[in-house]
A = this chain, B = another copy of it.
Amino acid sequence: MSRWEPDARERFVAAALELFTDQGYDDTTVAQIAERAGLTKSTFFRHFSDKREVLAAGQETLSRLFAEGISSAPADASPLAAVAAGLANAASAMTPFNRELAPRLEAVIATSSELQERAALKQVGMALAMADALRSRGVTDQVASTAAELGVLAFKGAFAEWIADGPDGTADLAALLRDALDRLRSAVAQLG
Q: Determine whether A150 belongs to the interface, using a CB cutoff of 8 Å to chain B.
A: yes
How many residues of A sit at the interface, in one of the four size bands? Answer: 20 to 34
User: Interface segment, A6-14, A26-34, A138-146?
Assistant: A138-146
Whether B191 contacts A150 by the Cβ 8 Å rule is yes
| Shortest Cβ distance from residue A69 to the other chain B in the assembled complex, whole angstroms | 16
User: Interface segment, A60-68, A100-108, A112-120?
Assistant: A112-120
Q: Determine whether A188 belongs to the interface, using a CB cutoff of 8 Å to chain B.
A: yes
Whether A81 contacts B192 by the Cβ 8 Å rule is yes
Whether B120 contacts A187 by the Cβ 8 Å rule is no
7 further A-B contacts with Cβ under 8 Å, apart from A142-B157, A142-B184, are A80-B192, A117-B117, A120-B121, A120-B124, A146-B150, A146-B188, A146-B191
Across chains A and B, which 3 residue pairs bring their CB atoms closest together, nearest first?
A: A78-B192, A117-B117, A120-B121
Q: Which residues of A contact B (CB under 8 A)?
A: 77-81, 114, 116-118, 120-121, 123-124, 140, 142-143, 145-147, 149-150, 153, 157, 183-188, 190-192
